Amino acid sequence: MRLLTHNMLSCNIKGVSNGFPLRLEAEKWVEKEVELNADFLRGIFPKIEWKALAGAARAIGYDQLPDEADASMLDSDDFLRRFHHALLELHVEEGALVCPETGRRFPINKGIPNMLLHEDEV
Amino acid sequence: MEMNMLWSSEIFFVGDKFLYASHSSFVTMALRRNLVGCTSFCFPPVFLCWIAAMDYSIDIGSSSFSTKCKLSSRTVSSKSLHKTAQIRLLSRHPEVYEPCDDSFALVDALLADRANLLQHKPRLCMEVGCGSGYVITSLALMLGEENSGVHYFATDINPHAVDVTRATLEAHGVHAEIITTDIASGLHKRLAGMVDVVVVNPPYVPTPEEEVGCEGITASWAGGENGRKVIDRILPVVDELLSGKGWLYMVTLTANNPSQICRLMREKGYASRIIVQRSTEEESLHVIKFWHEDIAEMEGARAVASGPESWLSQFPLKSFWRGGTGSIG
């Protein structure tokens, strides 16, 4: 699971209003090099919740993202490289995503988060 | 021999052109392009099968089916190999739906529309119900990945299916972000309005209601009354996910009442067009493409200006939309 996906996931339990961002508890993660595409990064940037990305990156030991970011930073190659690395090159293999409101844990196995709900949560 | 082809008993399409041929011979489809030693696929000659511009190696003749398979297995070019997932590289599990006519029809539709898809420059693509991973892998092979700025998501409610999809993607050296979930639950809020291409081969088989959403492989086909139970849950979610320029490709069965589906989508502002229509003895499948009506669909605009081919491209639609429903690109 890339941090891009973490940034797009929120708790889907019925009645939960504050289900984003899910807290990342990573047990195992890997880095996989991916070709940088500046157009993609500039296009997706406005859709990214920056604090959630920076927080998730820190949770897996990458602290090279600024706490806050704005679109003007996209002119910097150095910023793009860090953004790219955090968003697409870090893969969480094992761990869990935890709902900030209910504490419900959604497991991540073999890089795949499981967002299936129990009957009483739908 | 590699050619783009359409099979019917009377008409062949080769690339963007067509030619008439009257024959009664077999047309076997190159072992689903690269299937070696597995069951091949052959359209019953008596049925009209309308398949737009596919990258197949095909073999035409009158000798036995098994011979055709052996012959055509040697004709598959490297070009066709890299555009769709290879059957021999697919991962399998007894509880996961293996690619069948419907999956092939969907991939054929994507191949037929590939030029438009490339021009469309999608940023995020998503498959709902990825099963074996055949379709999302094929899409990633067709459109390219990070270097092209395209990223893929795939979901399935079946935990075995997501494992199989992961293995299939890995075997082809492509990547999609996979999530075990019901349709797009957990993703749809944040991904709303962001997905440029959604592909769905839904559980469309009419079944008793209690079979819908069962565990394991049943979930891949059980569609409840008229096979619409899950389709009708998927459509509003897809409507939420799609960006303004977003496209949906969905497989339907005649029993699903596709013209009514198109009317429903029209109420949400979508135009629709059949990309692939395919009949077998068991079922009649359509792959329908939907797009926001107020945004011109590229090929639709082009077809109007391009003479006899555009008339032919509409031919199957006219026979299908007898009630004059839906918008035709």
Q: What is the pLDDT of residues B208-233, one digit of tens each?
A: 988 887 788 888 888 999 999 999 99
- Answer yes or no: is pLDDT of B257 > 90: yes
Range of the domain at A15: 3-116
- Answer yes or no: is pLDDT of B244 > 60: yes
Distance, in Å, from the CA atom of B75 to the CA atom of B213, rounded to the nearest integer, reads 41
Report yes or no: B235 and B264 within 8 Å, Cβ to Cβ. yes
Report yes or no: B277 and B285 within 8 Å, Cβ to Cβ. yes
Query: Smallest Cα–Cα separation from B138: which of B99, B101, B96?
Result: B99
- Answer yes or no: is pLDDT of B37 > 50: no
- Which amino acid type is present at position A60? I
Helix (H) or strand (E) holding A27: strand A23-31
Report yes or no: B154 and B161 within 8 Å, Cβ to Cβ. no
Query: Smallest Cα–Cα separation from B56: which of B235, B230, B276?
Result: B276
Residue A15 lies in a domain: yes
Calculated CA dihedral for residues B260, B265, B266, B270, nearest 10 degrees = -140
Query: Smallest Cα–Cα separation from B150: which of B175, B174, B123, B173?
Result: B123
Interface test with A, best of B165, B179, B233 (most A CBs within 10 A): B179
ipTM of the complex: 0.97
Distance, in Å, from the CA atom of B20 to the CA atom of B268, rounded to the nearest integer, reads 40
* Residue A43 near chain B (CB below 8 Å): yes
* Residue B243 near chain A (CB below 8 Å): no
Residue A10 lies in a domain: yes
Distance, in Å, from the CA atom of A62 to the CA atom of A51, rounded to the nearest integer, reads 14
- Which amino acid type is present at position B29? M
Residue A103 lies in a domain: yes
Residue A84 lies in a domain: yes
CA atoms within 13 A on the CB side of A108: 25
Query: Do β-strands B151-156 and B50-51 pair in parallel, antiparallel, or remain unpaired?
Result: unpaired
Q: Mind listing the domains of chain B with CATH numbers?
A: 2-81 (no CATH), 87-320 (3.40.50.150)
- Answer yes or no: is pLDDT of B27 > 70: no
Residue A122 lies in a domain: no
Domain of residue A10, CATH code: 2.20.25.10
Higher pLDDT pick, B63 / B224: B224
* Residue B10 near chain A (CB below 8 Å): no
Helix (H) or strand (E) holding B59: strand B54-61
Report yes or no: B76 and B34 within 8 Å, Cβ to Cβ. yes
CB-CB under 8 Å, A35 with B151 = no
- Answer yes or no: is pLDDT of B176 > 50: yes
Q: State both tokens at B213.
A: 């959403």
Please report the pLDDT score of residue A55 as a whole number: 97
Burial class (CB within 10 angstroms; exposed 0-12, middle 13-18, buried 19+) of A100: middle
* Structural domain total, chain A: 1
- Answer yes or no: is pLDDT of B82 > 70: no
CB-CB under 8 Å, A11 with B147 = no
